[in-house]
Structure formats: structure tokens, C-alpha cells
Amino acid sequence: MAILSVLAEHEQNEFEYPPLLSAEARTISFSFPREVEKQINQLRTSTNKVGFLLQYAYFKACKRFFVADRFRKEDIAHAAKLLGISLGDIDLTTYKKKIPADHQSSILKLFDYKPFDQHVIEWLGKELDLRMQRLTEPRQIFIELLQLLYQRHIEVPTYNRLVALISQHYLAYEHSLLSHVKENLSVENREKLEELLTVEAGKNPGLLGQLKLINQSLKPKAIQASVRLFHRVHDYFEGLLPLMNSLKLSEHNCTYYTTWVKKAKLSQLKQFPNKDRTYLHLTAFLQNQFYLRQDSFVDILLKSVQSIKNTALNKLTETDQLTRTERRAAVRHLTKTNRHYKSTIDEITKITQLPLLTDTEKMQRIIALLEANQQRESEIEQKKIDLFEKSLDAIVKDKDYFKILEELSIKLQNRVNEIIKVLVFNEQTSNTSLIKAIQHFKKHDGNITKKAPLDFLTLDEKEAVADDKKELKISLYKILLFIHIADAIKSGELNLKYSYRYLSIQDYLIDKEI
């Protein structure tokens, strides 16, 4: 089995040999309680006593054991001095086989540590399998395993033993990915992936080169160019989806391979001795591109909608300032008119309560009162009242706001129309009413019909999107749809199916089995 290179050579040597202890660290490491002193005194030979103390001190310092021929001379001398033993009485060449192993077992019990045995190897294997799904760098995995061993109070093994375990799982995982590629990649998709590696001389950098950067511009032309590029990615993604589902590549996997593809030249990708490895890299790269571009389109959608909403509110404020005097006059006039009507009703009430008048006389007086009142209300005055009422009704129902939105709709459509068509929403976890409206939008290629779903709209919005002839105001409907989509994405009511940042909350939770 091939062994991965995890640490540099000088780092390996540093790991495999006992630590270089300063005077202070040596004092701390070689200090021992009476329990340890009793165990040392029970040993028969001076070599075994010094050997035990050295293993105890080194384990105390770094939670590792070392072979006797790597013990440091200065540490041997220090241990002998502490135990009152002459250096001439020590022969560490005899300190081997069963004796050091027994000492190590006793030291582990003294520190309440577990040995690095088969049970630990099996447990670490499961931890490694989880890390393989992230395809973390071997060096980082090595460091994480050391941390796990320290946390669980487990003896740290030799460098080679730990690296062999990492290599075994690392290579096994990659082998399983390559097997999936070999079994699930069709001839047609192999040919399409090969096309990615072909660039005609003097032409543009090819699809791979174009995909290395994602344009976040909010300009309509830039968005349209990004959508056209995305359609090409979508074409590959659709064909490779069965393979991607089989590989179950995580975000970390895709990022790992994508980083390599971005940095590599086409010639390097072509030089892989195993073609399936090349296809694995390209598949991960395309999956990553699809997910990243879906997220990027949502970012553009959210920014564009927010910009339009801000513009609409600013215009509404301007309109509000312009009509403030008119509205004040309307309120005063309507208040005055209301008081006049109330006064008339009070007078009629008084007439009806006069005991000396007959019903006929009461009726005559009421008619005279109404005729006098009607003469005071000219036709012009009545029109003014109607106008003021309509003005106030428009304010109550946000008609000015909807009018402004309708005027801004085309500007937003130019940015968002094509984005909505290419976003893939998760219908299982999203707002049903909005999904129906989005499906209608996509089905008719953005050309809204009279049968467009209205359930996602509020009551005021439903009233606003219908004109005087009860026909649908297409521009207003579209901008309201885009605003609802943006708000639902931000609130989590609307989720993407292929995304890193806009999935449903369930997709971010740890798997129940794990």
C-alpha cells in the first residue's frame, strides 16, 4: 500500500524521537509521586529502573512511548542522578521486548490512559471515514487525530502507524470514488468531458477557463452572459447527475478537486495516467460550479430586489411630501363636511321629537331643511369631496406604492427574469403557493397569463394587480412575485435544491445515523 507523505522529513524525525526538554521542562517531566517511586523500587535492575523513569517522563511530556535506542543521553544521565544510580550500571541494550511493554502498561494505568489497540483503531477508522467526506488535507487529518487521542486520553502511536492508518482510509475512499466513476460514467459523458480539455488554438480559453471566475455584476448584460454560461454548465450537470448522486460529493470534496482544477493547466489534467481520475476532478468541478452559480444568482436576485424596494420607498417618500398639503386639505374638508352632515341629522332628529307638530308638518319641515342643505352643496363641491375621498382611499390601500412598483418592474425584470428561470427550487421544502407561481412563470417562459396563481399575494396585492376591467397587471404581478421570492428565500420559506448557502434547514443538520 502506498503511504502518503504527511509531514516533512525533519517533522517526522522530531515526532519519532523524544522531545528536547529544557531544564524547566525536564524538572517537571521527571518529577514523580510516591506511587511511581514504589513501582521503581520494586524493579530488580538499575537499567529497568532508569528505563521505567525515562518512559514515564517522556509519556508525561508528550503522551508517547519511544524505543530505548532513541532515549537522549542528557535525559538518561538526569534519570540516573535522580535515582542515585551510576551510569556504568546502566545497559539500555538489554532494555527491550517484554520489559518495556510491561512498563508502558503500568504507566498508562498511572496516567489513566488507554493503549492504542485494535478498539482504538476501529474507532479512529470511523472518524477517518467522516473526514474523508470532506477530503481534508492529510496533514490536517493527522493533526485532528492527535487532538482526538489527547482528548480521549489515548496513547499516541508512532508516526508510521498513524500515517499508515490515514493512508489506508484516504486511498480506499479515493479508490471507491474512482470505482463509481468507472461504473457510472457513460461513454457519451466521457466524450463530453474530453471536450472540456480541448481548446482550439487562437480561440477563447474554453469553458474551463471561462468558469474559473463568477461575475457578480448587477448589470443586465453581465447577468445575461452569466446565464448563458450557466446553461452550458447545466447541460453537463444534467448528464452527470446520476454519477454525482452516486459519488455523494460534499462541499469539501468539490472544493478540494475544484481548487486543483483551477490551479492546474490543461496539460496537467491530461497527464493523469488514470483517465477516471481526470473525470472525477472534472465532475467535482462542474458540480461545484453548478452549486456556486445557483448561489450567485440568488445573491444577484436579493440585491436587485432590495435595490428596487429602496428606490420605490424613496419615490413614495417624495410623492408623500408632494401630496401632503393636498391630503391635509382633504382631511379638513371631509371633517367639515362630516360635521355639517351630523348637524343636519341632529336638526332632523329635533324636528321628529317636537310634540306639537303633526307628522305632515314634521315631514314638510324636514323636506325644507334638506332642500336648503342641497342648495348649499353645489355640484363642484361634491366633485371635490369625491376627489378627496379617492385620494385618501389610495393612501389607505398603498395604491401609490403599487403604482411606483409597476413603473420599476421592467428595470427589475431585465435583471431577474432569466435568473428565476434557471434557479432550481426544492419543491419538497418550499412554500407551495410560491412554487406554483414559479412553475407557471417557468412554464410560460416568463410570459404571465390570466391563469397565473395569486395565492401567494396579500389581499391588497390581489386587489392591486387587477385593473378596472379585472384584467391582470402583468408588470405589477411580476415585480410582486420577485419581491415575494426574495423575501421567502431570506426567511427560509423557499429553498434551493442544489446550493451551498440556500438549502432547507434540514439539509444542514447532522445525519440521524451519525
3-state secondary structure of 86: coil
Q: How many CA atoms lie within 13 A of 185 on its CB side?
A: 24
pLDDT digits 0-9 by tens, 114-162: 999 999 999 999 999 888 877 678 898 999 999 999 999 999 999 999 9
Residues 76-92, mean pLDDT to the nearest whole number: 94
**Tell me, what's the pLDDT at 163?**
95
Q: What is the dihedral of CA 379, 385, 391, 394, to 10 degrees?
A: -100
Distance CA 85, CA 48 (A): 11
Looking at every residue in the chain, the average pLDDT score rounds to 88
What pLDDT was estimated at residue 355? 80
Q: Per-residue confidence at 383, pLDDT binned at 50, 70, 90?
A: low
Placement of cell 504507566 in the chain: 107
Q: Residue 454 — φ and ψ, nearest 5°? A: -120, 0
Q: How far apart are CA 296 and CA 412, in angstroms?
A: 17
Residue 201 binned pLDDT confidence (cut-offs 50, 70, 90): very low
Using the predicted structure, report yes or no on whether residue 71 has a pLDDT greater than 80: yes
Among residues 478, 349, 319, which one has the least CA distance to residue 409? 478
Give me the numbers of helices (H) and strands (E) for the chain, helices first please.
22, 0
Average pLDDT over residues 61-90: 94
Within 10 angstroms of residue 492's Cβ, the number of other Cβ atoms is 14
Q: Supply the pLDDT for residue 391.
A: 52
* pLDDT for 204 beyond 70: no
pLDDT of 61 higher than 90? yes
- Three state DSSP letters for 19-76: CCCCHHHHHHHCCCCHHHHHHHHCCCCHHHHHHHHHHHHHHHHHCECCCHHHCCHHHH
d(CA 326, CA 390): 12
What integer pLDDT is reported at residue 261 of this predicted model?
Answer: 87
Rounded to an integer, what distance in angstroms lies between the CA atom of residue 402 and that of residue 388?
19
Q: What is the pLDDT of residues 240-263, one digit of tens each?
A: 999 999 998 888 889 888 888 888
**Residue 8 · residue 167 · CB < 8 Å:** no
Q: How many CB atoms lie within 10 A of CB 446?
A: 14
Confidence of residue 274 (pLDDT cuts 50, 70, 90): confident
DSSP state of 510: P
| 289: Cβ contacts below 8 Å, ≥ 6 apart | 211, 233, 258
CA gap 28, 95 in Å, rounded? 24
Q: What is the pLDDT of residue 230?
A: 96
The pLDDT tens digits for 306-318 are 999 999 999 888 8
In one letter, which amino acid is 207? L
Residue 484: closest CA among 458, 506, 465, 504? 458
Eight-class DSSP state of 62: H
Q: Using 50, 70 and 90 to split pLDDT, how confident is the model at 203?
A: low
Contact assessment for residue 399 and residue 464, using Cβ atoms and an 8 Å cutoff: yes
Element (H, E) at 111: helix 98-111
Q: Which residues of 47-60 are buried (b: 16+ CB within 10 A; e: fewer)?
A: bbbbbbbbbbbbbb
Q: Above 70 in pLDDT, residue 95?
A: yes
Which residue type is seen at 407? E
Q: Is the pLDDT of residue 360 over 90?
A: no
Map residue 169 onto helix, strand or coil: helix
For the ranges 95-109, 210-224, 363-377, 408-422, the lowest mean pLDDT is seen at 363-377
Work out the widest C-alpha separation in the chain, in whole angstroms: 143
- The per-residue pLDDT for range 36-57, each reduced to its tens digit, is 999 999 999 999 999 999 999 9
pLDDT digits 0-9 by tens, 17-37: 999 999 999 999 999 999 999
First-to-last alpha carbon distance for the chain, in angstroms, is 29
Asked if residue 301 lies in contact with residue 482, where contact means CB atoms within 8 angstroms, the answer is yes
Work out the average pLDDT over 352-373.
Answer: 77
Residue for grid cell 532515549: 71
Contact in structure between 399 and 463 (CB atoms under 8 Å): no
Question: Which residues face 154 on adjacent strands?
Answer: 114
For 277-289, write each residue's pLDDT tens digit: 999 999 999 999 9
* pLDDT of 368 above 80: no
457-467 pLDDT, tens digit per residue, is 999 999 999 98
Confidence at 77, pLDDT banded by 50, 70, 90: very high
pLDDT at position 94 is 92
Q: What's the mean pLDDT in 218-231?
A: 95
**Residue 392 pLDDT greater than 50, yes or no:** no
What percentage of the chain has pLDDT greater than the value 70?
90
pLDDT greater than 70 at residue 105: yes
